[in-house]
Amino acid sequence: MTSEARSRPQTAYVWVWLPGADRPVVAGRVDQRADRLIFGYGTSYQRREDAVSIYEPELPLRAGSIEPPAGFNVANCLLDAAPDSWGRRVITSRLLGRSAGNDDTGELSDLTYLLNAGSNRIGALDFQESAAEYVPRGDDSASLEDLAEASALIQAGETVPADLQEALTAGSSVGGARPKALLEDGTRPLIAKFSSLTDTYPIVRGEFLAMRMAAHCGLTVAPVELSSAHGKDVLLVDRFDRVPGTSQRRAVVSALTILGIPELSPYEASYANLAQIIRERFSDPQTTLRELFSRITFNILCGNTDDHARNHAAFWDGHMLTLTPAYDICPYLRGGGEATQAMLIGPSGDEFRFSQVAGCVQRAPVYGLDRAEAREIVEAQLAAIAVRWDEVSDEAHLTQAERTMFARVFPHPYALEDFR
């Protein structure tokens, strides 16, 4: 492929792992038209008895071209399989020979990123140049030490050796801004989340602390393990989008996609709107609503204000949605005073997004709970945090000074105002 073709491709074929399948099939094709990507299902795919839509209502299974919704350049369910800022840095480094820094340079198109990201991406989609031959990209057999070294080179804007480029490419489609990669521990697929060169406090250990504590608080959470490489912390997160012991993949869509919100308008996202969709389109809506409310209050209690709509997701089986385990909960240190969550908590016309559990309890009926039930959830979380604090802090290898530091936001006094 020429340099121009690599940076400005015009077509890609969308391959999908259907539910229960060990191998992908071609679902359709995306074409670049001006600044938009137009999708169409293949005729042979539409004839399959087991065919399902990539995601409804965005890409319903029907004949003809399907344009992105108004205000979108690409269907969100396709972007869910695209690299975020870290993956774009990796791909920019490989294709252009330098780092793009923290921001996308704009020199590469969305289709370029889709075609050059690792094939072992989140969910059940991949993008290929061919409709006839599936050629996976990226090598996830590298060691944790090699991956840590390669991620440090990318962060520093230095050249990554060719033997490590494929390893980083494998994880380039995993979302988020922080450095990460994919690896296998036997048959256990993992996401490795590395420390950043710009970290001013132990963010990786803080995320481990929050994820482990969330599990103790009764939330459904992806299992995590704390490791290290080159003397730096690494968080290992079990992948929930793979079926253990098989080559099967589970389709995943973000809350941004479920809510139908453009990538550039994340602050329009609303937990209350998500709750309404849960009632209409999710399996076991009552249990799911309780889990969603519990995640909102735990995010507030642990100081995670980065709970944006791409940090929530659901499995899609072609018919119904099912909430995935929580996978990105990290305390953010801050001083005193007011704080807000990334998503609105109140219903339409109520702009409440403050990081206070009392306000959540007042709005409990939005989530299918009465206020007494909501208060019990918060009280149980506070009790679990108090009881498990020393145990989980030990697991996180926190020093006494670090425990004191995280305790200032876990929970922050502002979170409990008017609650007790």
Give the pLDDT confidence score for residue 183 in this predicted structure: 87
What mean pLDDT value characterizes the chain? Answer: 91
Backbone angles phi, psi at 30, to 5 degrees: -115, 140
Give 382-393 pLDDT, tens digit per residue. 999 999 999 999
Mean pLDDT in residue range 141-152: 84
Sheet holding 313-316, edge to edge: 252-254, 313-316, 321-323
User: Is 295 in contact with 220 (CB distance < 8 Å)?
Assistant: no
Token digits for 35?
């600044």
The confidence score (pLDDT) of residue 378 equals: 98
Two tokens, residue 46: 């539409």
Task: Give the pLDDT confidence score for residue 99 in this predicted structure.
Answer: 52
Query: What pLDDT, on the 0 to 100 scale, is given for residue 4?
Result: 45
Q: Which residues contact 186 (CB under 8 A, 6 or more apart)?
A: none
- Domains in the chain, start-ordered, CATH in brackets? 1-188 (no CATH), 252-416 (1.10.1070.20)
Tell me the pLDDT tens digit for each residue of 287-338. 999 999 999 999 999 999 999 999 999 999 999 999 999 999 999 998 878 9
Average pLDDT over residues 381-410: 97
Contact 274, 258 (CB under 8 A): yes
Confidence (pLDDT) at 163: 76
In degrees, to the nearest 5, what angle opens at C-alpha 91 toward C-alphas 54 and 328?
60
Question: How far is 58 from 69, CA to CA, in rounded Å?
Answer: 8
CA distance 248 to 225: 24
- Does pLDDT of 2 surpass 70? no
Residue 81 to residue 250: CA distance in whole angstroms: 12
Q: What percent of the chain has pLDDT over 70?
A: 95
Report the pLDDT value the prediction gives residue 106, as an integer from 0 to 100.
59
Q: Are strands 11-16 and 125-128 parallel, antiparallel or unpaired?
A: antiparallel
Locate 175 and state its tokens.
């979302």
Q: How far apart are CA 95 and CA 110, in angstroms?
A: 14
Is 276:270 a contact under the CB 8 Å cutoff? Answer: no
Can the peptide bond before residue 411 be classed as cis, meaning omega within 30 degrees of 0? Answer: yes
Which of 38-52, 150-164, 312-326, 327-341 shows the lowest per-residue confidence on average (mean pLDDT)? 150-164
Q: What is the DSSP letter of 367?
A: G
- Between 188 and 345, name the one with better pLDDT: 345
Q: Provide the pLDDT confidence category of residue 7 given band limits of 50, 70 and 90.
A: low
Over the stretch 59-101, which tens digit does the pLDDT of each residue have?
999 999 999 988 899 999 999 999 888 888 888 888 887 555 5
| 147/166 Cα distance (integer angstroms) | 10
Is the per-residue pLDDT at 142 higher than 70?
Answer: yes
8-12, 17-21, 302-306, 334-338, range with the lowest pLDDT:
334-338
Joined tokens for residue 367? 């989530």
pLDDT tens-digit profile of 172-228? 777 777 888 888 887 889 999 999 888 899 999 999 999 999 999 999 999 999 999
Q: How many residues does the chain have?
A: 420
- Answer yes or no: is pLDDT of 413 > 50: yes
C-alpha to C-alpha distance for 358 and 274, rounded to whole angstroms: 20
What is the helix (H) or strand (E) element at residue 391, kind and residue range?
helix 371-395
Tell which wins on pLDDT, 159 or 280.
280
| pLDDT of the residue at 101 | 52
In which residue are the tokens 């020199």 written? Answer: 107
Residue that the structure tokens 């079990």 belong to: 238
Q: Is the pLDDT of residue 105 over 60?
A: no
